[in-house]
Chain A
Amino acid sequence: MKIDRRCFLSFGLGVTAGTLFSPLPWKLMDDASIWTQNWSWTPVPEPGEVSEVNTVCTLCPGGCGIRVRKVGKRAVKIEGLSDYPVNHGSICPRGFSGLQYLYGPTRIKSPMKRVGPRGSGKFKKISWDEALATVKDKLQDLRTKDMPHTLACIAGSDRGTVSYLIDRFLTAYGSPNYIRDASSRDADELALYLTQGQDGSMGFDFENTNFILSFGAGLMEGWGAPGRMLNLVGSNVDKTVVQIEPRLSDSAARADKWLAARPGTEGTLALGMGHVIVREGLYNRDFIDNFSFGFEDWSDEAGNTRQGYKALVLNHYAPSHVADITGISAVEIESVARAFAGAAKAVAISGRGQGRASDGVDECLAVLCLNALKGNINRPGGIRAVAEPDYLTWPEMNVDLTASKGRQQPRIDGAGTGAYPNTRYLINRLPAAINSAKGDSPVQALFVTDANPLYTMNDPEAAKKAFSRIPFIVNFSSVMDETAMYSDILLPDHFFLEKTRDVPSPPGVPVPVIGLAKPAVEPLYDTRHLGDTIITLAKSFGGFVETAFPWEDYGTFLEQTLADVWSDLDENGFWIDEKAAPKPWLEAFNTGSRKYEFYPAALANSDGHGYHPKVLEGAASLPGGEKDYPLVLIPYDSIRLSCGILAPSPFMMKIIDDTVLVKNNGLVEINPETAARFGLSEGSGVVLKTPAGRARVRVHLFSGIMPGVVALPHGLGHRAPDKYTNGKGININALINDVSDPVSGMNMAWGIRATLEKV
């Protein structure tokens, strides 16, 4: 039979029609669509019983209450805990993404020993016994050589039982070198000590205030306890907020008024406002006349007449003059000063962004004086010194001769000695102290906990050089970060949500609130509670070091030391020190004059006395010449970026705008006017040069930044094995040099001179 064209076509048509009427193609299409959507690697989350654990977030010092939702043994969601006294249910994006840190790829899963060169990230897994024996042998060796003081510890905090345990270990071992990581607490604490003679952190009663004058503190950017600030200031439109900073930050945008003062002139502006308040007699006469010292001129021990605050501001800080320095008009300065003085309850606050870096004590004192003029110290809606509550019961401790001799050695960072008698910690001076030492490094062994100095310190290269001279570095970090990469032995602590610990009172909170972080999940990996590690380590030394640690483990230690407080903590998850009510003015001040001291007598006899106008005008705090570097680079903080020791989580990297990061390129914010002057447009590739270093960046035009100023965010440019953050953007700390505050020795750099070169 011959198959002609007609026959072929009709057969084909028949087949097509027949197939279409059969279920075959539909079934195939259905199967295909199901198959394309059911890849075996698309996970199906396992169901289970739903439960909740209330605990405290320890991803930053903020200590917000959180509720962890669990399904079976898995933690699946973090939410704010509404009946927690710090944050009342509000938490920040980092807190919400906390499980990504817990379950993320950066966790250190067991004790490790470095096998490659420092920074190479080559580590070998070892057992806990081996790791602890290595550490003990090294430290015992130093002790037999009578060098226990060459052990130093860099820690994120000096409060809370774990910090005290480490400090106790250093005492028993014989080292004075407990070094707290830098933060705005340094300047705050020093300012409180100088003016009020009080040890403690600065508490702000934002709960009861109705006017907040913020000299750069990023109230909406994660300052203090982020959840508390968002809850108190963010959700409350009745509080008037005036934000002073050179960039339209989220805090400035949300404030009732934004005053764009030139960077570094905040202290001058505070004195200018002080001028207006003094000139117009708007200050609290009761407080100034009866409870303050140094407002009027006074004479020192040698009989010389010294200028008081009143004469200082009236003679040197007239609004017209301050307007020239700060760029804020005299009219504006006067109106804000009057509004502050006239508000029922007003508070002024200094600081930069999140306050995770230190700032100048002069600026802090200048702003504190505004609060003194207002007479809001220890008053509702004002500020107060929050002492560390005395809630721990410690057994007596004896030390041996080696330890006693070691403890008497001067601190390696120079804090509390000669030049800086009132400063407690100076981590910024550590690299120079090590690098400038002849012969062996003054630090022979270093502990690092809850800190990432090789990322957070200015000029990390100098810090790296110093670290390379330290023969033995032990790191207790739970995640692999820049500093862990540079360490010799890793003894990973249980992480956030895996352990029990007390959480010390968060920065800025006006009453001491001790929280209890409880484990929400079983420890995922072969990690060990830092408290247990320290106790085990101490016990292995024998002698007085061992007897200083009579507890079996951290759990028994916590219950015994917290004694009376434990049941409250265990039951409620927090404990508020009711005895810590602010004292009346008559009893509040512990200074030489028993009054609030505008002029800290403690400093009056030294050369670097108080408000040195040059310092406050910002000239000294800005390295680099104007000719070579016509611009000023400032860092800014964003609550969408995790600016402290931890890198941002993948979710946080997802919420940052494409005006901050594009692919791996960091974007520098620049005013369109400045950009035009440099011939730059949106997205132009440039080299950002500062006296400290250089970096390739792209340009983002933003009219919210002051002309002549450029800004980069904190929190990017990490160099650690985490593909979500590694090499993305610029670590701005590497572009900024330290500037030592002559009074305190602290780093007070708020920026650096810079220039942009087209590529």
Chain B
Amino acid sequence: MTENNQHKKVRRYGMVIDLDKCTGCGACMVACYSENNVPFRTDETKKLDSLNWLRVFKVSNNKSFPDVDICHIPMPCMQCDGMHGHGHAPCVSVCPAVATDYDHETGIVSQIYTRCFGCRYCMAACPYHARTFNWWDPVWPADMKKSLNPSVSVRMRGVVEKCSFCFHRYQQAKEKAFVEERMQVEETEYQTACAEACPVKAITFGDLNNPDHKVHSLKKDKNAFRLLESLHTNPKVYYLTKRDWVRRQCDNIDSHTDIKE
């Protein structure tokens, strides 16, 4: 865990989600489940127990009919950089087992299931409810085990899991680049399952530090904001909306003033 990677060009993978495009269809969630072997149970209606790496929340402007409006907010792990971008994400700071760590090469907050012993401090620390706990053994009935993706390990009962920004896809892209003797992973080579899946192209994914990537300019849009910015968790997931009420509901107190590189 070195914080000084001066000799390497630092990448900070992040996401910009256009809330004015999102229709709340849920394709991102299902693509994520399928890519990341997220288990399912017969009753998934108790949402606090439901395992998700990405959830699409629905918020309303609380006006009465017919002035009411709704907005869908897809929430993956925010991949917090922490204060001053040192990688001190809330979950990383509290984990007693170093089961969750900040990767200085990509800015991605990892989760190592075999290290996790299920204390759930990280869940308490995360202000975004991005983490869920495996209360039950995963079950894939009939032949459903055949649909498991070998690139992502199946989690066992008793550990915490969360969105990894499909880190296995980064590894695969990096290996491919290495074989082809390239230093750079291209923008299109590494995309998360949800960004790739979004049928209305509301999710844009890329390196926030790379001016060639779309997210680099999108995050500077005047309508861009992040969730709970006042907490200085410094998330790498940005949202876009023209609707003021949505921004207010996202508790965006420091909007536009606190976006640090």
Q: Which residues of A contact B (CB under 8 A)?
A: 33-34, 36-39, 41-48, 71, 74-80, 87, 89-93, 95-97, 99-100, 102-105, 107, 220, 226-227, 230-231, 234-235, 237, 248, 250-251, 253-254, 258, 260, 524, 639-640, 650-659, 661-663, 671-673, 703-707, 723-724
Q: List 28 A-B contacts (CB under 8 A).
A: A34-B114, A37-B113, A42-B157, A44-B153, A71-B149, A71-B150, A75-B146, A77-B34, A79-B196, A80-B199, A90-B199, A96-B31, A97-B33, A99-B147, A103-B144, A104-B142, A220-B23, A234-B25, A235-B201, A640-B26, A651-B30, A651-B33, A653-B40, A654-B29, A654-B40, A658-B45, A659-B58, A704-B70
Closest to A91 in B: B199
Interchain CB contact (< 8 A) of A703 among B60, B157, B199, B201 = B60
Known interface pairs A43-B140, A703-B68, A705-B65; A655-B197 also in contact (CB < 8 Å) = no
A655 and B29 contacting across the interface, CB-CB below 8 Å: yes
Which of B46, B144, B202 has most A Cβ within 10 Å?
A: B144
A640 and B138 contacting across the interface, CB-CB below 8 Å: no
- Measured between beta carbons, the chain A residues less than 8 angstroms from B42 are 723-724
Q: A266: shortest Cβ distance to chain B, in Å?
A: 16
- Measured between beta carbons, the chain A residues less than 8 angstroms from B62 are 703
Interchain CB contact (< 8 A) of B45 among A75, A100, A663, A671 = A663
Q: A327: shortest Cβ distance to chain B, in Å?
A: 9
Closest to A77 in B: B34
Report the separation of the CA atoms of residues A524 and B143 in the bound assembly, to the nearest whole angstrom.
9
Whether a CB of chain A sits under 8 angstroms from the CB of B84 is no
Known interface pairs A37-B159, A92-B27, A651-B30; A79-B197 also in contact (CB < 8 Å) = yes
A234 and B34 contacting across the interface, CB-CB below 8 Å: no
Whether a CB of chain A sits under 8 angstroms from the CB of B24 is yes
B29 and A93 contacting across the interface, CB-CB below 8 Å: yes
Closest to A88 in B: B199
Which of B24, B65, B150, B159 has most A Cβ within 10 Å?
A: B65
- Measured between beta carbons, the chain B residues less than 8 angstroms from A100 are 144, 147
- Measured between beta carbons, the chain A residues less than 8 angstroms from B201 are 235
A655 and B30 contacting across the interface, CB-CB below 8 Å: yes
Report the separation of the CA atoms of residues A74 and B72 in the bound assembly, to the nearest whole angstrom.
34
B142 and A652 contacting across the interface, CB-CB below 8 Å: no
B157 and A44 contacting across the interface, CB-CB below 8 Å: no
Known interface pairs A76-B149, A672-B64; A37-B137 also in contact (CB < 8 Å) = no
Whether a CB of chain A sits under 8 angstroms from the CB of B250 is no
Report the separation of the CA atoms of residues A524 and B147 in the bound assembly, to the nearest whole angstrom.
13
A45 and B149 contacting across the interface, CB-CB below 8 Å: yes
A662 and B45 contacting across the interface, CB-CB below 8 Å: yes
Report the separation of the CA atoms of residues A270 and B22 in the bound assembly, to the nearest whole angstrom.
29
Report the separation of the CA atoms of residues A93 and B199 in the bound assembly, to the nearest whole angstrom.
9
A231 and B200 contacting across the interface, CB-CB below 8 Å: yes
Q: B149: shortest Cβ distance to chain A, in Å?
A: 5
- Measured between beta carbons, the chain B residues less than 8 angstroms from A663 are 43, 45-46
Interchain CB contact (< 8 A) of A38 among B72, B140, B143, B156 = B156
Q: Which residues of B contact A (CB under 8 A)?
A: 20-21, 23-27, 29-31, 33-35, 37, 40, 42-47, 50, 52, 56, 58, 60, 62-66, 68-72, 113-114, 117, 137-138, 140-150, 153-159, 196-197, 199-202
Interchain CB contact (< 8 A) of B71 among A71, A253, A706 = A253
- Measured between beta carbons, the chain B residues less than 8 angstroms from A103 are 142-147
Report the separation of the CA atoms of residues A704 and B63 in the bound assembly, to the nearest whole angstrom.
9
Report the separation of the CA atoms of residues A46 and B147 in the bound assembly, to the nearest whole angstrom.
10
Q: B52: shortest Cβ distance to chain A, in Å?
A: 8
Interchain CB contact (< 8 A) of B27 among A43, A91, A253 = A91
B26 and A93 contacting across the interface, CB-CB below 8 Å: yes
Report the separation of the CA atoms of residues A640 and B29 in the bound assembly, to the nearest whole angstrom.
10
Closest to A252 in B: B70
Known interface pairs A250-B24, A640-B25; A43-B145 also in contact (CB < 8 Å) = yes
Interchain CB contact (< 8 A) of A231 among B29, B156, B157, B199 = B199
Interchain CB contact (< 8 A) of B34 among A37, A99, A639 = A99
Closest to B64 in A: A703
B156 and A42 contacting across the interface, CB-CB below 8 Å: yes
Which of B43, B114, B156 has most A Cβ within 10 Å?
A: B43
B44 and A654 contacting across the interface, CB-CB below 8 Å: yes
Q: B74: shortest Cβ distance to chain A, in Å?
A: 11
Report the separation of the CA atoms of residues A248 and B58 in the bound assembly, to the nearest whole angstrom.
13
Q: B19: shortest Cβ distance to chain A, in Å?
A: 11
Q: B20: shortest Cβ distance to chain A, in Å?
A: 7
- Measured between beta carbons, the chain A residues less than 8 angstroms from B197 are 79-80, 91, 96
Closest to B32 in A: A96
* A42-B137, A89-B199, A662-B45 known, 17 other contacts, Cβ within 8 Å: A37-B114, A37-B156, A39-B157, A42-B138, A42-B156, A45-B148, A71-B149, A92-B25, A92-B27, A93-B30, A220-B23, A231-B199, A235-B200, A248-B66, A654-B44, A657-B58, A663-B43
Closest to A104 in B: B142
B30 and A237 contacting across the interface, CB-CB below 8 Å: no
Report the separation of the CA atoms of residues A71 and B168 in the bound assembly, to the nearest whole angstrom.
15
- Measured between beta carbons, the chain B residues less than 8 angstroms from A227 are 199
Interchain CB contact (< 8 A) of A90 among B35, B72, B147, B200 = B200
Interchain CB contact (< 8 A) of A96 among B27, B68, B113 = B27
- Measured between beta carbons, the chain B residues less than 8 angstroms from A653 are 40, 44
Interchain CB contact (< 8 A) of A706 among B37, B65, B113 = B65
A654 and B50 contacting across the interface, CB-CB below 8 Å: yes
Interchain CB contact (< 8 A) of A673 among B64, B114, B158 = B64
Closest to B68 in A: A703
- Measured between beta carbons, the chain B residues less than 8 angstroms from A661 are 45
Report the separation of the CA atoms of residues A248 and B61 in the bound assembly, to the nearest whole angstrom.
13
- Measured between beta carbons, the chain A residues less than 8 angstroms from B30 are 93, 96-97, 651-652, 655
- Measured between beta carbons, the chain A residues less than 8 angstroms from B58 are 657, 659
B21 and A650 contacting across the interface, CB-CB below 8 Å: no
Report the separation of the CA atoms of residues A260 and B64 in the bound assembly, to the nearest whole angstrom.
13
B34 and A92 contacting across the interface, CB-CB below 8 Å: no
- Measured between beta carbons, the chain A residues less than 8 angstroms from B35 are 77
A105 and B142 contacting across the interface, CB-CB below 8 Å: yes
- Measured between beta carbons, the chain A residues less than 8 angstroms from B147 are 74-77, 99-100, 102-103
Q: B139: shortest Cβ distance to chain A, in Å?
A: 8
Known interface pairs A71-B149, A230-B199, A639-B25; A673-B142 also in contact (CB < 8 Å) = no
Closest to B43 in A: A663
